[in-house]
Structures are given as C-alpha cells and as structure tokens.
Structure 1
Amino acid sequence: MYTHVPAEEIESRSMAIIDAEVPEPRPFAAEEWVVARRMIHATADFDLLTHIRFHPQAVLAGKTALLAGADIVTDTHMALVGIPRRRLDPLGCTARCLMNEARVAKRAKAEGVTRAWAAVDEVMAHGGADIFVIGNAPTALVRLLDWIGQGARPPQLIIGMPVGFVNAVESKELLMAQDAVPYITVAGRKGGSSLAASVVNALAKLALEQRG
C-alpha cells in the first residue's frame, strides 16, 4: 500500500532502510560507508557492495580537494547535472563538462578519437583538474591515465566508473593498477553517470560537515 511520506523525510528514510538492510559488520566503515550508501541510494543496487573499490586515501583526497575549492571535470553532462550547485557553491567548487565544446568535436574528428578522449586532452593540455568524474566513457579514463603516466599534473581524485561492455572493465582495472592518484571505482561492468555523480555529492556532504 502506498504511504505518503513528507518530501523532507524521503532521503533520511531511504538511508535508514539501506542501513537496516546492510547490518553490521558492513563491508565499509565510517566515511567510506557514507559514500557507498549514497551509491546504493542512487541505484537501489545492493550488489554494488561487492564491486565498490576505494583507494586507501580516496575519501581524504576528495574532501581535501573539495574544501580547497576543487575544479571538477565530468565526462558527461548527465554527471554534471547530477551534482547540484547547492553541493558545490558553499565549498567554492566549480564543475564543467567539455563534451559539447566545438573545439573538442574538432579535435576528435581531426585525430580520429572519441569526444571523451579529446575532452580529456583539452582539459589536461590546459592545466588539468582537481577531480575527474568519469561515469560513462572508458576512453576518457584510459586517456586520463595516459596523461598521468606521461608526467602530467595529476588530479587529486579520480572517480572512475565507466559502464558497459567494451573496455569498461579493462579501463577500471588500469585505474586500480596504478597508485599515483587516489580513486573510487566499481569493478566490473557496472557504473554510470548518476553513480559517479552520487560519489561527488557524498564527498561534498562530508566536506561540509567537516568544515562545520
């Protein structure tokens, strides 16, 4: 039976349900659980708990970047709109996506690469970013790791969760194989823009709580 729930209570009730369905001892503790729970909230997929991977410094790196006013780059506009300004503005952070920029389309066509690949090239050729949020394009993640491997200024955190069947698994394996940059990822085929955005939202909430 449908039960009316006041709008302001929906999120807290959802989180309480997740907590109840994943009793202690949980696979993640403290702030990692806050992030993982937000990911479950975004997808209603408890199976994610067996696939989420945190670099040991990931949460700290993410909070530190956000508290310093991070420049965030996403690989899709869906991820961009999934990170509301009310999360970022109080921290002085910015978020952008270059996928629809004319210069990116021109570069992609000229070089015979995907726009996601070309967008990473544009960002990294002009100073990089503090946090990369990749939820869709394996080529974006692979190209970012190429730049880092070549000595470019690395981001402080990579949220790398490309979804799908072609190179999604492999790109995330490359991410987890490196230790130069902290990351949060989802092993296997699962991922997506909304999932990646949910990680930023969880980290922003933690950063705001820390700042007080």
Structure 2
Amino acid sequence: MEIKKVLPSEIESESFRIIRSELSQMGKEIPKDIEPTVVRAIHTTADFEYADTLTFSENVIKKAKDAIRNGASIVTDTNMALSGINKKALSKFGGEAFCFMADEEVAQIAWDRQVTRAYVSMDKASEVKKPLIFAIGNAPTALIRLRELYDEKGFRPELIIGVPVGFVNVVEAKKLILEMDVPYIVNVGRKGGSGVAAAICNSLLYNM
C-alpha cells in the first residue's frame, strides 16, 4: 500500500475528485444543480448511498440560494450542526445561525409537556422574524413539529433539510416533510446526522 503525498490545502479537492471519479465508475449521473450537495454529503460520510437517497424538491437549490441571498437564517436541532455551518459565509448575506436546544425556556416547556426539546425548539424558532432554513440532522420530533406548524398555522420555511439519523420515527418523520409544499432536501431512510445537515448547508453557501 502506497501512502499518497497530498498537501493539506489539497486534501478536500482530492477527496472530491475521488468521489466524482467513483460516481462516474458506478455509472451515476448526478444533475448539475444538486451535484455539489450530493458530493459534499458523500465527502462527510464516505457513504455513496447518498447519491441515491438524497431527495430534492423541484428547483430547491435555486430557491435555497435565493433565500440565503435575501438574508435567510439557519436553525439547527443540535449544537453540533450549528458548529459545522460556515457562519462567516452565511453572514455575508445577512443571515445568522441558531440552535435553541440549550434554551432554558425550551427545556422547561419540554419537561412540563413531556416532549423533546427539539420539538419545542421548533416553536421557538418559528417566532424568529426572518426567513428561515431548518437543518435537522438528529431529531425526527423536530420534523414532526414543523409539519404540525405547517398544517395548523401555515408556517412555511424557505427550506427544510431533513436528515435525522436513527430508528424511532425517523423514516416516518421524513415522509411528512416530503408531503409538504415547501422546498426540501431530505435523505430518505434511516441515515443522516448533524454532520450531514451542516454539510448540506455548506454546499449551498460555498456555491453561491
């Protein structure tokens, strides 16, 4: 086995080259508009299944970029996803990134109602007076609450990134988002995670 000598500044670009080469060898042709997002998700996970399972609503990349240009902010369901988003790139367009999971009021309401903090944090986020992108990588209950807010109050985010990972209500919660008339990027099935949610956000920010 030969170890490649790659400069630190070239590691990411070389990784992307390998990913694109292997996708080509698999015979997978990714549409140009979604290709950067698919490649970055694979780069984050080393899992080529994302080429098949990432699901995009019509014209979602253009709609998402337009929202960012118009100052949309990003709400996550974990501090891990929050830390992974390039907030400097987002701030160039006037956007901010939020996570309300550690909010004391959210925690108290969740305890009182015996629901998850992720569920309650979506209510908190819906009160932010800005166009919003939701990047959900951990909690299916966050997606469930977003669907309820859509059904009950007509709440319409600019984009929902629905990629929670797990076994309980994960597949079902993602299907709820696929049924909404809202721009979405959803990974069908059990796979996902906070890193994937952040990677999808960055795929948009790095290709504005």
Which range, TM-score by smaller chain? over 0.9
Instruction: Quote how far apart the aligned CAs of 1:112 are.
Output: 1.3
Report percent identity of matched pairs.
41
Q: Secondary structure at the match of 2:9?
A: helix
Q: 2:62 — aligned with what?
A: 60
Report the Cα distance in structure 2 between the residues aligned to 1:110 and 1:127, rounded to whole angstroms. 26
Report the Cα distance in structure 2 between the residues aligned to 1:124 and 1:92, rounded to whole angstroms. 18
Report the Cα distance in structure 2 between the residues aligned to 1:93 and 1:122, rounded to whole angstroms. 17
Instruction: Quote how far apart the aligned CAs of 1:168 are.
Output: 0.4
Contact kept, 8 Å, 1:128 with 1:153, in 2: the verdict is no
Q: Secondary structure at the match of 1:38?
A: helix
Matched, 1:176 2:202: no
Contact kept, 8 Å, 1:128 with 1:154, in 2: the verdict is no
Matched, 1:31 2:33: yes
Q: Deviations over 1:131-189 (max 9, x none)?
A: 000000000000011101113331110001111000000000111122x2010011100
Contact kept, 8 Å, 1:127 with 1:153, in 2: the verdict is no
Report the Cα distance in structure 2 between the residues aligned to 1:187 and 1:42, rounded to whole angstroms. 17
Matched ranges for 1:100-115 at <5 A: 100-115=102-117
Q: 2:201 — aligned with what?
A: 200
Deviates more, 1:60-69 or 1:156-165: 60-69
1:162 to 161, 164, 171: 164
Report the Cα distance in structure 2 between the residues aligned to 1:60 and 1:170, rounded to whole angstroms. 27
Contact kept, 8 Å, 1:73 with 1:129, in 2: the verdict is no
Contact kept, 8 Å, 2:72 with 2:130, in 1: the verdict is no
Instruction: Quote how far apart the aligned CAs of 1:126 are.
Output: 4.6
Contact kept, 8 Å, 1:82 with 1:197, in 2: the verdict is yes
Question: TM-score normalized by structure 1?
Answer: 0.92
Report the Cα distance in structure 2 between the residues aligned to 1:151 and 1:27, rounded to whole angstroms. 39
Contact kept, 8 Å, 1:148 with 1:154, in 2: the verdict is yes
Q: How many equivalent residue pairs?
A: 206
Q: Deviations over 1:8-49 (max 9, x none)?
A: 111111111111001186342112011111111111100121
Question: TM-score normalized by structure 2?
Answer: 0.94
Matched, 1:18 2:19: yes
Q: 1:146 — aligned with what?
A: 148
Report the Cα distance in structure 1 between the residues aligned to 2:34 and 2:200, rounded to whole angstroms. 10
Contact kept, 8 Å, 1:53 with 1:186, in 2: the verdict is yes
Report the Cα distance in structure 2 between the residues aligned to 1:74 and 1:97, rounded to whole angstroms. 5
Q: Which amino acid counterpart does residue 186 of structure 1 have in structure 2?
A: N
Deviates more, 1:191-200 or 1:146-155: 146-155
